[in-house]
Structure 1
Amino acid sequence: MTCSSTIRLLAIIEAVTVTGPARNLIEFCKCARAHAMAEAPLIETSIVTYCRSGWPEEGRARATTQAASPNPFISAVRAAGIEVIVIPERCRFDVRVIEQLRRVVERHSPDIVQTHNLKSHFLLRLSGLGRRYPWTVFHHGYTATDVKMHLYNQLDYWSLRKAARVITVSQAFVNQMKRRGVSPERIVVVHNSIHPDWSRVSGEEKRAVRTSLGIADDESMILTVGRLSREKGHADLVVALAYLRACHPQLKAKLVIVGDGPEKKRIEKVAAAHHVSEQIVFAGQVPRVAGHYAAADLFALPSHTEGSPNVLLEAMATGLPITATAVGGVPEIVTHNENALLVTPGDPQSMGEAMAQLIKNRPRALELAANARAIVFDQFSPDARLRALVKTYQQLREDRREMTEAALSEVAAK
């Protein structure tokens, strides 16, 4: 039975794999369930997602808790014991989904509807549900890989302007949204989080990873993790590695790139042009990346744009020395010369020099890493994130109650 302190949350997200926002959502549900106490509200979360393999032959779509061929995200949600409702679709922006979306929301009658990614924002605004239920939008930033995506990103502001709250991951994104007409009073900054147990890796697994990657005992392993897209700056990191080898030939190092994406061939060409192909390992997508962090000697984040990067938090939790570009929310998480070395984006020479410093001066590198690890579990823990989100949800519910009472009073006065 639902008690008065319970907050019913319906989260709508497009996801196939368990990365970024999808992983954060699952972790939030687990954390909320683990911390449900008498003095704190219980968060009952159901997740709505889409699946293109579920459209029936007779042409009538029907939302269901059972998907014929569940993808990794759906499987992970079910494994976590979270209710998931799957809406069949025929294409990415299938407006026929809206009818099913309305039925799902009305059936669950949530206290709050929450959307992740621009597709869900767009469909919810078109449905009109945002006018009937408190609507929270999660804004994770944008990836403008081509003209089409750039147009999609601009369209997203049309949705954001009508949400009751926009939860974003960095102050840098707040400034962007304000310039696009999103009311600053509706924007809340909540950084991503990392679980304290995330980095637990055995010594045996660590050695196995280094062996599988071909990292010799006398070589430093430089790790970077992320989608291989242009804004992630991998080509800059390759040039930085070439600088490191040319200006510090006594330092032996290999760069391990975890992730995949459309920029891989270009990165390979840059590596060949700078004669460092033999010093780079493309590891591809890795199911359990914690072992790669544990095996590394330092972490590099060369991005041109970022929000609240999970990979940075993962490196901090592992206790890795870090060099990163000072973009987006990165300077909100780490501070130059206190717990990381920050460099200007698009400056491979500076990043190459920072990597050299972390390899040469190991005591200083470990000091920075220890400082970073100390703050990540204090300021960026799942508990801290849960408290911030619950505060936002409680305020939304209170706002709705006050609006309802005011409307009833107005009717009674007539």
Structure 2
Amino acid sequence: MMTTLLHVFSTFALGGPQIRFAQLVNALPGHHQHVVISLDGRLDAASRLAPHVEITYLTMPELKPLSLLERLKQIYQTIRRYRPEILMTYNWGAIEWALCNRFAGLCRGIHWEDGFNPDEATRLYQRRNLFRRLALGGRTEVVVPSQTLMRIARQQWHIPPVRLRYFPNGIEMPAQITPTNSAKKPTLITLASLRKEKNLPRLIKTVAAHAPDCRLLIGGDGPMLNELTTYVSKHHLSNQIQLAGRIDDVWDFLAQGDIFCLSSDTEQMPLSVLEAMGAGLPVLATDVGDVKSMLSAANHPFIVQPSAYAHAMAQLLATPDQWQPIGQANQQKAKQEYSFQTMLSNFCRLISPNR
């Protein structure tokens, strides 16, 4: 029997939730039909879906200018049209779909929360908390990838344990990764959607000021690409800092690095950090979300508050003999605790009709 899953994203551009979705759907056993709705019209992540996946794409940027009541009416009609067994909504941008389904009772609802927009990086808005309580009530199940979000969901959104699912991310690592850094200088590397909350200017400025003998590779695409490119050019940093754009082969890209850097203002359980662990890299990062608990104990001294970021970078660069042991400890932890098969098994249980 074919099961239809309707997935609603604020955008289907390449990002952590979209990449995780593609990986899971590509590996999902059984017979499933997927409908992906992109509310901003972007479908970049469609390139990550395997040819065998039965999937339909729908773009709905026309919803944004409408009033709330008009949007809810169209949302209701769209869900009715596709008659899914499960509606999956992803993050704040799709919350109205969860709200509509909760009160219309059209199908089983599962809402994924992976983190927050830049405007909620330091504090949550009470009005959004109230809206989440309303939209995610009833029988809606809520899925989160971090213990930080588990606490927020329980305490601020009032999601009872019976409807709250902890769903850590996982990665499928290649059997072997061969370092390919041919540069004579240490290479700092990062992989991110180029959005404001990733605070890549923090990383660029820190490297320029405190690591003049290093190069920095930035992989990823996003709305800040032109701004970052202009900044690097204006400050004559092009020989030191390279913006590589969209990365299709993560492992080949990470093999070029000596140290992985994360400079975000807000994260929960970033896929890029798991990939860095899988690649056997030490990680320098801001202390956000579950990042510190994800990494090996040996790496913990280099997960710091933003004010200490430059100092931590200098410390890590000054101890190159520690890079490999820290990276190996990270890789071992990724293999033991964050395997792709575990994530896939969790997903199969999540969508099982026998829950």
Shorter-chain TM band: 0.7 to 0.9
Residue 137 of structure 1 corresponds to 111
Cα distance in structure 2, aligned partners of 1:373 and 1:78: 27
Counterpart among 332, 335, 344 of residue 374 in structure 1: 332
Confirm whether residue 10 of structure 1 aligns to residue 6 of structure 2: yes
* Equivalent residues of 1:230, 1:263 under 8 A apart: no
Residue 47 of structure 1 corresponds to 35
Indicate how the Cα distance of structure 1 residues 130 and 12 shifts in structure 2: closer, same or farther if over 3 A, else same: farther
Aligned positions of 1:13-412 closer than 5 A: 13-33=9-29, 42=30, 44-50=32-38, 71-77=43-49, 79-86=51-58, 88-92=60-64, 94=66, 98=72, 101-103=75-77, 105-106=79-80, 109-126=83-100, 128=102, 131-145=105-119, 155-156=131-132, 158-162=134-138, 164-185=140-161, 186-197=163-174, 206=180, 217-242=183-208, 244-245=210-211, 252-259=213-220, 260-262=222-224, 265=227, 278-337=239-298, 341-357=302-318, 360-362=319-321, 364-394=322-352, 397-398=354-355
Cα distance in structure 2, aligned partners of 1:146 and 1:177: 15
Indicate how the Cα distance of structure 1 residues 368 and 90 shifts in structure 2: closer, same or farther if over 3 A, else same: same
Q: How many residues align?
A: 348
Cα distance in structure 2, aligned partners of 1:165 and 1:17: 25
* SS of match in other structure, 2:19: helix
Query: C-alpha displacement at 1:219, in angstroms?
Result: 0.9
Cα distance in structure 2, aligned partners of 1:368 and 1:279: 25
Cα distance in structure 2, aligned partners of 1:380 and 1:194: 6
Query: C-alpha displacement at 1:335, in angstroms?
Result: 3.4
Query: C-alpha displacement at 1:18, in angstroms?
Result: 3.3
Query: C-alpha displacement at 1:333, in angstroms?
Result: 1.0
CA-based RMSD of the aligned residues comes to 3.7
The code of the aligned residue for 1:384 comes to T
Q: Structure 1, unaligned stretches of length 5 or more?
A: 34-41, 54-69, 211-215, 399-414
Cα distance in structure 1, aligned partners of 2:330 and 2:232: 32
Residue 66 of structure 1 corresponds to none
* Equivalent residues of 1:136, 1:163 under 8 A apart: no
What is the TM-score with the length of structure 1 in the denominator? 0.70
Indicate how the Cα distance of structure 1 residues 301 and 52 shifts in structure 2: closer, same or farther if over 3 A, else same: closer
Cα distance in structure 1, aligned partners of 2:8 and 2:63: 17
* SS of match in other structure, 1:347: helix
Deviations 1:113-158 (A, max 9, x none): 21113232213413556634221100011112599x9799555554
What is the TM-score with the length of structure 2 in the denominator? 0.80
Cα distance in structure 2, aligned partners of 1:91 and 1:23: 24
* Equivalent residues of 1:234, 1:267 under 8 A apart: no
Cα distance in structure 2, aligned partners of 1:301 and 1:52: 27
Indicate how the Cα distance of structure 1 residues 161 and 346 shifts in structure 2: closer, same or farther if over 3 A, else same: farther
Indicate how the Cα distance of structure 1 residues 335 and 370 shifts in structure 2: closer, same or farther if over 3 A, else same: closer
* Equivalent residues of 2:98, 2:111 under 8 A apart: no
The code of the aligned residue for 1:136 comes to I
Deviations 1:368-411 (A, max 9, x none): 111211221332122111222333444x854xxxxxxxxxxxxx
Deviations 1:17-62 (A, max 9, x none): 23311111121112222xxxxxxxx462412314777xxxxxxxxx
Cα distance in structure 2, aligned partners of 1:264 and 1:355: 30
Deviations 1:313-365 (A, max 9, x none): 111111222222221011231134158832223323333224314xx433x21
Identity %: 18
Cα distance in structure 1, aligned partners of 2:89 and 2:249: 27
* Equivalent residues of 1:303, 1:345 under 8 A apart: no
Q: Structure 2, unaligned stretches of length 5 or more?
A: none
The code of the aligned residue for 2:13 comes to T
Cα distance in structure 2, aligned partners of 1:228 and 1:76: 19
Cα distance in structure 1, aligned partners of 2:306 and 2:46: 36
* SS of match in other structure, 1:79: coil
Indicate how the Cα distance of structure 1 residues 47 and 153 shifts in structure 2: closer, same or farther if over 3 A, else same: farther
